[in-house]
Structure 1
Amino acid sequence: MGPDVQLNGTDAYSGYLPDGNITGFSMMHESGTGGAPKYGVVSQLPVVGNISNPLVDLSVPRASADEAEVGYYKSFLANGVTVQLAATEHAALYSYEFPPSQKANVLVDVSHVLPSFRGLGWGQGYAGGELKWDGEKYQGHGIHNNGWNLSPDWTIYFCGRFSTKPKESRLFSGNGTTLSSYGNQSSVAGSERVGGIFSFNGTHIISRVGISFISSNKACKNLDAELPAGATIQSLKQKAQKRWDQEVFSKISTTDTNVTNLGLLYTSLYGMHLIPSNRTGENPKWNSTEPYYDDIFTFWDLFRCTTALVGVLQPVAFEEQIRSLIDIFRHDGYMPDARSSNYNGRTQGGSNADNVLADAYVKGVRGAVNWEDGYAAMVKDAEVTPLNNHDPSAPDSSTKEGRGAIPDWLQYGYITPRFSRAVSRAVEYSVNDFSLSQVATGLGHSDDTAKYLNRSLNWRNHWNPRASALNISGFVVPRAENGSFIHQDPLDCGGCYWGDAYYEGKPFEYSMNAHHDIDTVIAYSNGTEGFIKRLDALMDPANDIFDVGNEPSFTSPYLYSFVNRQDLAVQQSRRVAKDNYGLGPTGLPGNSDAGAMQSWILWNIIGLYPMTGQTTFLVGSPWFEQMTIQLGEGKTLEITSSGGNSDTAFYVQSLKVNGVEWDRGWITWDDVFKEGGRLEFVLGSEKKVWTTGERPPSPASGR
């Protein structure tokens, strides 16, 4: 829960903006996302004085800055009301302190949603609702639709109780110009605005509200079970903080005392754990004994390094999320690349849930996962064209789920410009097919192993050796049906958005994103020196190519390790981290992207970087002298460093893995994660080429 703020037509993706008028305090948000707002439903707003028309703009500015802690939020409104918020999983507590000289009212707005002002057709709608008041509690539902994932109608139910019986209750509905059913009504419903005004004697009012996707009765049960009448802001805050400590913050501990680094560590852990939402027991679409997770936003953002970190820090939840993806396939037909309000969408590139499943499989996640069903879900992504949902942003094929451009992929082995995002999808489809080959191998489907491993090389079909920029030749470019390459400036992606050949990344970046086949990229770059030259150009800020705020760049600084220049990987990744991350409002290089940005910096702090779908972790440089990571079941990874610090002396001089001297710039899952382990770094201020051993694997290249 939190404030919903409106300012000059600015999208408030998760409700909050630092400036502007508060339009309500609502109970559902997706935190840290971009694209367009989602949710902002089941809203209340404290209003003072006499209200003659509840349909006019009753929003209110702040009197001073908001305050917040984990599990707690506080706003000071210009109308003199102080608002405090705390919550449980399915219920929320609002504490209002009204000025003594003013009439106290709470506006309940069933029709409230977070709006979008971008003009892209992604704004949310209100399709209808109902509010009932029985003198003791109010309950009802709101029907909403659209948003970034273009969801059809979905319903949220609610049930609310006040600490003090209202002296007056008036329910209303209307369209903004006319007003009906305004008075002491017991119920009101309609597709126009619906809500209620509850007026009170006194200055201190507590409002408790439960929600559910199942029914308003279930919302009441959630409320009574999680927020009994004696619950207080303080008790809920303490309970939330205890849970965050036990389940999240305690997973990484350190003896270091650098306040800035500690703040970045734990704030990042917080940010990467806010979504997806565990909706087990709240699935309105089908009955199942499997876990159910929603608010995946999106695997395009998360598969590169976030889901791998979830697998390390939250192995139980990670297994549940894998099972949920497979169950969504069973009942909805496809695994999601993104999902909100119980509906798949939108898919930005490949079917990247495949990568998440492959990552879990190769790292030994078994438990209650039905891997044959999981593999069937992956095969459907790879073989069956999803129905076109006619997304105005990319009407050529489905953006809802699956791989919309699969017809070209199967016919040509590349994707023609008749499909949007043709080149970036081709690179991602290659990675997706590699993921299938990994799981096929483990399950003994040898024919499929060869088939999908071969298909994972199709990204090469987009490589034009004559395309050039910055005195470097060879880049992935669009390709026509007749096989000819289409001219493309490697430094230009057009709008870099839904209708373009590349999505949120330049050709230069995507040419380095076939991470399963890096040996081929090295060969195409004329060997080691050419590969380093290419990476140097990509990472040079003067060339404006690398963008840590967009996920196709995430792995790029670490790619030096594939030619045994781990020192350059550390130099570039540490520069990016220190230049783009910190504490405060500008502490992230853009939207959190559901924790993607936070997980990137967490791996940097830890001193490793995952190659998703493989068991490989590239070695970086840890920030702390001592760090312990809890892996579950009593296992730990101990990381120590000596001789350096995170600002100047951060180059690796030597490394021991489980007491053994190491000469490789990579480790595997089995080395330190499967049963726990120990990494002992010696750091210094001078670059040192200590990685004289075997280079990191490039499995699709045959090595």
Structure 2
Amino acid sequence: MAMISRRQVLAGSAAISVLPYTGFAASGSLCDHVDPFIGTGGHGHLYPGATMPFGMVQLSPDTSNQGWDSCSGYHQNDGSIMGFSHTHLSGTGCPDMLDVLLVPATGEVKLTPGPLSDPDAGYRSRYDRTSETAAPGYYCVDLTDSRVKAELTATTRVGLHRYTFPQGEGGHVMLDLAHGAISWWGERELILDNLSLKLIGNDTIVGGRQVFQWAKGRWIFFALKLSRPFARADLYSDDQPASGTALTGKNLKAALHFPDAGNAPLLIKVGISSVDIDGALKNLDAELPDFDFERVRGSAHAAWERELSRVRVDMASEADKKIFYTAHYHTLLAPTIFQDVDGRYRGMDNAVHTLKTGEASYSTYSLWDTYRAVHPFFTITQKERLPGMIGALVRMGEQSPDGVPIWPLQGRETDTMIGYHCASVLAEAAAKGVKGVDYKAGYAVLAKRAFVDDVHGLGLYRRMGYIPADTVDEAVSRTLEYAYSDWCTSKLAAYVGEGKAAKTLKARSQNYRNVFDTTVGFVRGKQLDGKWVTPYNPHSLGHDQSKWRDYTETNGWQATFLNQHDIYNYANLFGGLKAYEAKIDALFSEKSDANEKSLDDITGLVGQYAHGNEPSHHVAYLYAYTGAPWKTQSRVRELMRDMYRAAPDGMEGNEDCGQMSAWYLMSALGFYAVDPVSTNYIFGSPLVKHAEIAIGGGRKLIIDAPANSAGNIYVQGVRWNGKPYTKSWIAHADLMRGGRLTFDMGPQPNPDFGAKITDRPPSFI
């Protein structure tokens, strides 16, 4: 590849710097650039329905409730819709939710959905794909078998349905309280308990249930009100007619009949609560006292417009804008608000608590994924929400019998994935000066896990400095991620004045050395007796896949780059920075198909780099530490181009509550946090030509890359507030003071930029 001289770089920079930015083109609403169908095909596991930013209600169609690609309840390939439920997961790899299903229909009442392969066998309906539309806060579809037009919108805690039946005909609405997500791998069946359903007059239904699925024992209550009374309500228990106006049991349903259904649209509003029926009623009455669908739709649109406008961008094409603003939209779907309007919420101890003034409760933290980019992005764009989000994690840790939150969902701990990465979120917030969080209480929760608890091999880790691969599954990855959690906890310990613990944990965070084999240049399994597991193949998931896997959703190639916090000392294990750089090169150039058993989660391969799963997300940025940030620039631009598309299957791997999207957002803006608690961002190759980020207090961070194009992917130089900036990284505190960050872009690498040791990112300090 041809190089350009420093003189050429400076000449190019001078020419670029005089090009003024002339303002955002008039292009209508930012919501117009959002396509909620991106990620609803492939393995994105996203839903297209109506919700508010961080909304407690996610009102969306369910096309299937069983199968890995139905974790959100919806997939483009299914072809029929069961109905519309009020809670959905955003891009997870595990199923749950799909609470309180409503099914509008004409003709005979059918009590079961029927199989996906035979829509005529049950209440599911085919739909007109050309009629299906979605926008932030709104969804619409024509159900062809049912001959009903369904429209959905929402407030934070209430879903609002508008059903238009065939003119002059009658119809009914089925409420299926037994519907929910069914495990696709067989270990977690859908078990329902404490179901209740009660008619109040002829226009209101209330009820609730306890669900034992992924989040075992979570509670959901609802209150449903109709815009006009039903003529008749038929109740069913175990699919048999039941008398009376109130039911309890395991399988409850209600069919509400409207002989005048076709005379005017039927509107139904449903409030939910994790606390009780009274909470659901209060949420319903406080947020939606009427049935004004267009007002609610307009309010939802306005709320999304406000959130999206925190980051305004100009990009090279409408497709790029669509990907960017949809990524921003998806990043704001979780965590979800988890408190009633009266401040009550259900804690991780299954008790009902009341928030103090100024506090907030949230749910749905995919922390193994989101600590990497979602939470760093929020520290830039969601400053006012941070105390609530982070304070909620502290209270979870104090209230939960399981201790430190790992993957909390709806007031229960799923204990999914490894490590304990709320340590990163808490330590990052403290280091970045987020106020209103009890960091001493947060540290106490983390310290118990770090020094006392013996779960998932942690006792062995403390005693031996690694987890033996012949004792605990995924031992290599667990060792590496405990080491990172140690690093994060050490930073928080220092922040709250626990100096001795901070020193101990910092030293322990170098335990990654105990699973690194210098003779092969990879991390690998080590047995209880201290011997390496043999034979070894870095393409393999582990040494005995019938019983153990040594890695978590990675293989030896990918896991070898899990170190985020101690790059320079780690590089010495490879033989120095040049050897480390060569190893990163080899990761991207190694053959992808190694004829080894793999996982559905290991996708988006470039060599052995796997963008479809989160452990690889920081790797392209590691070149900055070796003095070759131009290689980062090349790789991240390639990944933004190839791994994200404006199409239903336009996402590699599961979205995982915003992490796939947040990687794109941060990278498109031009920087990424390799180690979030360092509070530093590594420069990449910005995809935006111009961006304005509202960072609070009336301040803006402006990013300019005026010469950016598909060909000009390399950073020739950087200016911060008009002055030359030679470092390949920048501190969070600098960005949050506001200012203008200018990238001068060109078609060839500038090997001098960021090459000096003094210009490389700090690590392990």
Please give the TM-score of this superposition, normalised by the length of structure 1. 0.90
State whether residues 65 and 181 of structure 2, in contact with CA within 8 Å, keep that contact through their aligned partners in structure 1: no
- Per the alignment, residue 377 of structure 1 pairs with 445
Residue 21 of structure 1, CA deviation: 2.7
State the distance in 2 between where 1:189 and 1:498 align.
Answer: 43
CA shift digits 1:377-402 (9 cap, x unpaired): 1111212326xxxxxxxxxxxxxxxx
The AA in structure 2 aligned to 1:83 is A
Alignment partner for residue 254 of structure 2, among 184, 190, 195? 195
- Per the alignment, residue 358 of structure 1 pairs with 427
Alignment partner for residue 153 of structure 2, among 73, 86, 105? 86
State whether residues 212 and 218 of structure 2, in contact with CA within 8 Å, keep that contact through their aligned partners in structure 1: no
Alignment partner for residue 415 of structure 1, among 467, 487, 494? 467
CA shift digits 1:649-698 (9 cap, x unpaired): 0100011123331222111112222x223211110001111113315445
State the distance in 1 between where 2:579 and 2:682 align.
Answer: 21
> Is 1:658 matched with 2:714?
no
Residue 172 of structure 1, CA deviation: 1.4
Alignment partner for residue 670 of structure 1, among 733, 740, 744? 733
- Per the alignment, residue 64 of structure 1 pairs with 129
> Is 1:537 matched with 2:597?
no
State whether residues 518 and 574 of structure 2, in contact with CA within 8 Å, keep that contact through their aligned partners in structure 1: no
State the distance in 2 between where 1:628 and 1:608 align.
Answer: 14
Residue 231 of structure 1, CA deviation: 1.6
The AA in structure 2 aligned to 1:286 is V
- Per the alignment, residue 210 of structure 2 pairs with 144
State whether residues 172 and 195 of structure 1, in contact with CA within 8 Å, keep that contact through their aligned partners in structure 2: yes
State whether residues 196 and 248 of structure 2, in contact with CA within 8 Å, keep that contact through their aligned partners in structure 1: yes
- Give the 5 Å matches for 1:584-623: 584-610=647-673, 611-623=675-687
Stretch moving more, 681-690 or 160-169: 160-169
State whether residues 538 and 555 of structure 2, in contact with CA within 8 Å, keep that contact through their aligned partners in structure 1: yes
State whether residues 314 and 321 of structure 2, in contact with CA within 8 Å, keep that contact through their aligned partners in structure 1: no
> Is 1:329 matched with 2:397?
yes
The AA in structure 1 aligned to 2:424 is N
- Per the alignment, residue 96 of structure 2 pairs with 38
Report the secondary structure of 1:287's partner residue: strand
Alignment partner for residue 744 of structure 2, among 645, 663, 682? 682
Residue 123 of structure 1, CA deviation: 3.8
> Is 1:186 matched with 2:251?
no
- Per the alignment, residue 399 of structure 1 pairs with none
State whether residues 344 and 352 of structure 2, in contact with CA within 8 Å, keep that contact through their aligned partners in structure 1: no
- Per the alignment, residue 602 of structure 2 pairs with none
State the distance in 2 between where 1:273 and 1:194 align.
Answer: 33
Alignment partner for residue 23 of structure 1, among 60, 64, 82? 82
State whether residues 126 and 142 of structure 1, in contact with CA within 8 Å, keep that contact through their aligned partners in structure 2: no
Identity of matched residues, %: 26
Residue 640 of structure 1, CA deviation: 0.9
State whether residues 30 and 295 of structure 1, in contact with CA within 8 Å, keep that contact through their aligned partners in structure 2: no
State whether residues 355 and 435 of structure 1, in contact with CA within 8 Å, keep that contact through their aligned partners in structure 2: yes
- Per the alignment, residue 9 of structure 2 pairs with none
State the distance in 2 between where 1:455 and 1:138 align.
Answer: 58
- Per the alignment, residue 297 of structure 2 pairs with 237
Stretch moving more, 690-699 or 504-513: 690-699
Distance 1:55 1:576, change over 3 A: closer
- Give the 5 Å matches for 1:485-564: 485-487=532-534, 488-494=536-542, 499-540=548-589, 542-543=591-592, 544-564=607-627
- Per the alignment, residue 395 of structure 1 pairs with none
State the distance in 2 between where 1:158 and 1:553 align.
Answer: 41
Residue 308 of structure 1, CA deviation: 0.6
> Is 1:254 matched with 2:317?
no
Residue 453 of structure 1, CA deviation: 0.6
Stretch moving more, 43-52 or 367-376: 43-52
Count of matched residue pairs: 665
State the distance in 2 between where 1:677 and 1:154 align.
Answer: 46
Distance 1:159 1:7, change over 3 A: closer
State the distance in 2 between where 1:100 and 1:547 align.
Answer: 53
Question: Greater RCO between the two (CA within 8 Å, min separation 6)?
Answer: 2
Residue 68 of structure 1, CA deviation: 0.8
Stretch moving more, 160-169 or 566-575: 160-169
State the distance in 2 between where 1:449 and 1:499 align.
Answer: 33
State whether residues 694 and 701 of structure 2, in contact with CA within 8 Å, keep that contact through their aligned partners in structure 1: yes
The AA in structure 2 aligned to 1:459 is Y
State the distance in 2 between where 1:218 and 1:159 align.
Answer: 9
- Per the alignment, residue 696 of structure 2 pairs with 632
- Give the 5 Å matches for 1:221-300: 221-232=282-293, 234-246=294-306, 248-256=307-315, 258-280=317-339, 281-284=343-346, 285-289=351-355, 291-300=359-368
Residue 434 of structure 1, CA deviation: 0.5
The AA in structure 2 aligned to 1:614 is S
State the distance in 2 between where 1:211 and 1:257 align.
Answer: 42
Distance 1:368 1:214, change over 3 A: same
Distance 1:10 1:382, change over 3 A: closer
The AA in structure 2 aligned to 1:95 is R
CA shift digits 1:241-290 (9 cap, x unpaired): 111111x2111113456312211111110001101111133412232435
- Per the alignment, residue 393 of structure 1 pairs with none
Alignment partner for residue 479 of structure 1, among 509, 526, 538? 526
- Per the alignment, residue 6 of structure 1 pairs with 64
The AA in structure 2 aligned to 1:135 is G
CA shift digits 1:550-571 (9 cap, x unpaired): 1111011110000111100101
Residue 631 of structure 1, CA deviation: 0.8
- Per the alignment, residue 435 of structure 1 pairs with 488
Residue 595 of structure 1, CA deviation: 0.6
> Is 1:424 matched with 2:491?
no
State the distance in 2 between where 1:320 and 1:52 align.
Answer: 44
Residue 483 of structure 1, CA deviation: 1.4
Report the secondary structure of 2:610's partner residue: coil
Report the secondary structure of 2:656's partner residue: coil
State whether residues 663 and 692 of structure 1, in contact with CA within 8 Å, keep that contact through their aligned partners in structure 2: no
Residue 102 of structure 1, CA deviation: 4.1
CA shift digits 1:333-379 (9 cap, x unpaired): 423121112101223110110011111111111x2211111111111
CA-atom RMSD in angstroms: 2.1
State whether residues 319 and 646 of structure 2, in contact with CA within 8 Å, keep that contact through their aligned partners in structure 1: yes
State the distance in 1 between where 2:689 and 2:637 align.
Answer: 16
- Per the alignment, residue 516 of structure 2 pairs with 463
- Per the alignment, residue 207 of structure 1 pairs with 268
- Per the alignment, residue 167 of structure 1 pairs with 231
- Per the alignment, residue 394 of structure 1 pairs with none
Distance 1:7 1:294, change over 3 A: closer
Gaps spanning 5+ residues in structure 2: where? 1-58, 115-121, 593-606
Stretch moving more, 322-331 or 688-697: 688-697
Alignment partner for residue 372 of structure 2, among 279, 304, 311? 304
Distance 1:636 1:660, change over 3 A: same
Distance 1:236 1:6, change over 3 A: same
State whether residues 66 and 182 of structure 2, in contact with CA within 8 Å, keep that contact through their aligned partners in structure 1: no
State whether residues 617 and 667 of structure 1, in contact with CA within 8 Å, keep that contact through their aligned partners in structure 2: yes
> Is 1:451 matched with 2:504?
yes
State the distance in 1 between where 2:361 and 2:652 align.
Answer: 27
Distance 1:52 1:313, change over 3 A: closer
Residue 51 of structure 1, CA deviation: 2.6
The AA in structure 2 aligned to 1:524 is L
Distance 1:125 1:696, change over 3 A: farther
State the distance in 2 between where 1:384 and 1:344 align.
Answer: 19
The AA in structure 1 aligned to 2:412 is Y
Report the secondary structure of 2:481's partner residue: helix
